[in-house]
Amino acid sequence: MINRYSNYRALAVFIAMLILPLYWSGTCQAQSHRQPPDSLYLNVLFGDWFKNDTVDVSINDSLIFKGAQLTSSIIGLAQPEILISKKKGRYFVHTSESKTIKNIKIKSEIVYVELNFNNRKQEFIINTSRGRYIVFDNVDNGKLDYRQSKNMIIFE
């Protein structure tokens, strides 16, 4: 019995060692090829501690998506992802939930993000001059907070 358990455990570790690096490298490659940095205005991600949660996202009073399901992966990343790019003075929203691209009005470095997280409205004021990479985390059983960086955030 102990011998069989050891064999299954060794097989599981071997498979994990083969699959997880492929998954992580694909995720990191996808992160590094998502958007050219010169046209990226804002990148919004959902990170840790989400499990079957729902979220509606509005940016500057423009609904981006409604009822998206959030479940964090083993690397601490949940879909959907929001990219806002700037081209020729206009701003465009791309999401991983939709193939459509929407125009959005942005007048300054300040962006107002409203999240309706599990039917609880939370508002955030983001100053994009402090960084264009934002990760929201479920820090306290339904209370969201965010991390902000000038450099792309890599999940490992």
Distance CA 42, CA 126 (A): 10
pLDDT by residue, tens only, the chain of 156 residues: 555 545 555 555 445 454 544 444 444 434 444 444 568 999 999 998 999 999 999 999 999 999 999 999 877 889 899 999 999 989 999 998 888 888 999 999 999 999 999 999 999 999 999 999 999 999 887 899 999 999 988 776
Residue among 91, 121, 126 at smallest CA distance from 111: 126
Using one digit for the tens of pLDDT, what is the confidence trace for 85-102? 999 989 999 998 888 888
* Segments of 50-109 assigned E as strands: 53-59, 62-70, 78-87, 90-95, 98-104
Q: What is the pLDDT of residue 154?
A: 78
Residue in the structure block whose two tokens are 């046209």: 39
